[in-house]
């Protein structure tokens, strides 16, 4: 395996779980075995529907913008802003929505990231 360099502006977004996601590092793009890294760039009102990763854990890192993360069966709300990181254990229901007036950019780190997300 060798080092891979990606320019995020050259990666096309895919519509995943109701929102635009740039899948940057994964087994298909880099040969990564234990990590998926994606970037969500959400306009106001956009986001990801609630879902779980049965085996994988995830970290959301807010790069820019403001929004709301929904966690757990009760969909508890966490207001997010730039510089925040949220750790999400395996099997935890979670989703996000841009509730601000500007673009919301979140870096998603999922490990090991081998199983598909399950919408709930």
3 state SS for the chain: CCCCCCCHHHCCCEEECCEEEEEEECHHHHCCCCCEEEEEEECCCCEEEEEECCCCEEEEEEEECCEEEEECCCCEEEEECCCCEEEECCCCCEEEECCCCCCEEEEEEEECCCCCCEEC
For the full predicted model, state whether its pTM sits above 0.85: yes
Domains and CATH numbers, the chain: 12-99 (2.60.120.10)
Residue 59: the pLDDT is 98
On the question of pLDDT at 1 being above 70, the answer is no
pLDDT higher for 1 or 110? 110
Q: Which residues contact 88 (CB under 8 A, 6 or more apart)?
A: 53, 57, 58, 59, 60, 71, 94
* pLDDT per position as a tens digit, 3-14: 999 999 999 999
Residue-averaged pLDDT of the chain = 96
Distance separating alpha carbons of residues 118 and 120, to the nearest angstrom: 6
How confident is the model over 43-97, as pLDDT tens digits? 999 999 999 999 999 999 999 999 999 999 999 999 999 999 999 999 999 999 9
* 2, pLDDT greater than 80: yes
């Amino acid at each position: 395996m060798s080092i891979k360099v990606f320019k995020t502006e050259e990666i096309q977004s895919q519509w995943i779980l109701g929102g635009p996601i740039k899948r940057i590092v994964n087994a298909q793009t880099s040969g990564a075995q234990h990590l998926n890294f994606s970037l969500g760039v959400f306009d106001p009102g956009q986001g990801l529907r609630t879902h779980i990763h049965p085996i994988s854990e995830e970290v959301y890192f807010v790069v820019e913008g403001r929004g709301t993360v929904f966690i757990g069966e009760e969909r508890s709300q966490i207001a997010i802003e730039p510089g925040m990181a949220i750790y999400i254990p395996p099997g935890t229901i979670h989703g996000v929505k841009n509730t601000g007036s500007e673009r919301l950019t979140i870096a998603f780190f999922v490990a090991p990231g081998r199983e598909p997300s399950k919408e709930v």
